A and B are shown apart, each in its own frame.
Chain A
Amino acid sequence: MNKISAILVAAMIMGLGSATAGDRKPAPQGASVYIVWPRDGGVIKDGKFWIRMGLSGAGIAPAGIDKANTGHHHLLIDTDLPPLDQEIPNDKNHLHFGAGQTEARIELPPGKHTLQLLFADANHLSFDPPIMSKKITITVPQ
């Protein structure tokens, strides 16, 4: 009985593991994202700017549209990468651009801030391997 339970548990764990891995779509070949603007190390005078999101080798589709070689942008502000096997959180540090936007108006308080793009599929899941930009740092003066 114990043996059977152990096998069942093992099977469940394996099942869960493969389900999670299976949910992530393979990244389109050669796809990359980058922050066009602002520049890494840039100083943004009043903390208000339009971020421009660059995408090479893939296309944009709004969230919920499941089409090969497409996804939508997410902007991570002052945060590290979220767990890549889960939906990207939706809060003030993880902005979703599920309407297919490639630019967004951002306002940040004085101080140093980090910005990073993470491209994800119709269900807000990262690709495998993840398609993400360099994490850049900007400064908003007092």
Chain B
Amino acid sequence: MRGIHPLAFGLALAIIALPAASLAQTEQHDHKAVAAAGTTAEGRTPAPPDAYVYIGWPNDGETLHTRHVKVWFGTRNFGVAPAGVDKPNTGHHHLLIDAPLPPLDQEIPNDKNHLHFGAGQTETTIDLPPGTHTLQLLMGDANHIPHNPPLMSKKITIHVE
């Protein structure tokens, strides 16, 4: 920050914030128009019909005696690439935890129920509280938007003791 006048910094912030604020307003007032712009079928990256993803571990219905759950991401007839890498027949994994499928024509949300693996990871270890949980993989393209057709695993249920 050295050498930048505080006022100039404030001004820059205001400039950055301004379009975001007006965008939010647009969404509020003209929700349909914004949604239509984001849902064009052409905007989704195609995936080959034989590609699929699955959860290698844990098994569906499994009871785990640990809260540290290792999840292995299976990908067949398709490749993994970090987020931002736009290459045909690749994408990166997203793990949905205790969440329904998000809208498939939009960026996958990024929160504790929708984990992004934009560094090209093919496995993870998550901490889950005791109880019944669901896990599902959803592949996203370079821009975190599901492919067309979407590549998603079966939604599995596990029990954490």
0 or 1 for each of B70-88: is its CB under 8 Å from A? (1 = yes): 0011111011111001010
- Distance of A102 Cα from B77 Cα, bound (Å): 9
- Distance of A118 Cα from B74 Cα, bound (Å): 19
Given known contacts A70-B119, A102-B122, is B79 in contact with A60 (CB within 8 Å)?
yes
- Are B82 and A61 in touch, CB under 8 angstroms? yes
- Are A59 and B75 in touch, CB under 8 angstroms? no
B45 contacts partner chain A, Cβ-Cβ < 8 Å:
no
- Are A61 and B121 in touch, CB under 8 angstroms? no
- Distance of A103 Cα from B77 Cα, bound (Å): 8
Residues of B within 8 A of A52 (CB): 56, 74
- Distance of A62 Cα from B84 Cα, bound (Å): 12
Known A-B contacts: A99-B79, A103-B76. Give 15 more (CB < 8 A): A59-B80, A59-B82, A59-B120, A59-B121, A60-B81, A60-B82, A60-B120, A62-B79, A65-B87, A70-B120, A100-B80, A100-B90, A100-B120, A102-B74, A103-B75
The 6 closest A-B CB pairs, nearest first, are A59-B120, A100-B79, A60-B80, A59-B119, A99-B79, A60-B120
List the interface of chain A (C-beta within 8 A of B): 36, 50, 52-56, 58-62, 65, 67, 69-70, 97, 99-103
